[in-house]
Amino acid sequence: MSTAALPRLVPIAFLTVVLVWSTTPLGIVWSSESIHPTMAVLLRMLIALVFGVIILLLARIRLPWTSAACKLYSFSAIGIVGGMLLSYFAAKYLASGTMSLIFGLSPLLSGLIAQRLLGEGHFGVTRILAFAMSFTGLAIVCSSKLSIDGDSWIGLLLVLIAVVLFSLSGVLIKTVKINIHPLASTVGALLFSTPLFALAWLG
């Protein structure tokens, strides 16, 4: 693929990410209605892992096992296991809209954590306004599905911890200096994460 074609793919990549993350809480709620949350998330990770390994083999993409690579996989697993597993448990107490709204805090939390761990600068006015606008927009879109009552505080606590772990994982990944294919990084993270999901299900 030519370098000139890359800018045209940016909007497609952006829309894909928005679509995936905006529908993830809804998918979590739906999949948890019929089977136990730990089984639902384990099956999801297993399917992703199988497809990922097949693509790696077909595309002949190398999966490195250096110390730096294993550190990267471990840091990624923090966000996958902590973020996904706790979100699946929270789905018993919260509507998908509420979960989406709380996950909208991840850019802010990531920025705050990055200031501590990576020494990044403080938020500027433009960045704060952008975050406020995006969070407000997310709240408006999800307003019809926002509900907090009864044991909802349990779900809120679980999702907040999930968002913190997800944000922490994203920042820690930046501390690992390694040249690795994105798909190899994803499969490696799944290889580290899936056994933990299996233990959660068995437990």
Q: Give the model's pLDDT for residue 168.
A: 92
pLDDT, one tens digit per residue, over 114-171 is 888 887 777 777 777 877 776 677 666 656 555 566 777 788 888 889 989 988 999 9
Query: Is residue 19 predicted with pLDDT exceeding 70?
Result: no
Q: Give the model's pLDDT for residue 99.
A: 78
Tell me the H-state helices in 60-151. Answer: 67-77, 86-90, 96-103, 106-117, 125-142
Q: Give the model's pLDDT for residue 39.
A: 83
Q: What is the rounded distance in angstroms from the CA atom of residue 37 to the CA atom of residue 52?
A: 22
Q: Give the model's pLDDT for residue 192.
A: 95
Q: Give the model's pLDDT for residue 18.
A: 57
Range of the domain at 93: 3-202
Average of pLDDT values for 11-37?
Answer: 62
Domain tally, the chain: 1
CA distances in angstroms from 165 to 30, 153, 172, listed in the order given: 23, 18, 10
Q: Give the model's pLDDT for residue 105.
A: 76
pLDDT, one tens digit per residue, over 45-101 is 898 899 999 999 999 999 999 999 999 999 999 999 988 888 888 878 877 777 777
Query: Is residue 182 predicted with pLDDT exceeding 50?
Result: yes
DSSP letter assigned to residue 158: H
Average of pLDDT values for 28-57?
Answer: 81
Q: Give the model's pLDDT for residue 77.
A: 94
Q: What is the rounded distance in angstroms from the CA atom of residue 170 to the CA atom of residue 1?
A: 28
Q: Give the model's pLDDT for residue 30.
A: 61
Q: Give the model's pLDDT for residue 1.
A: 45
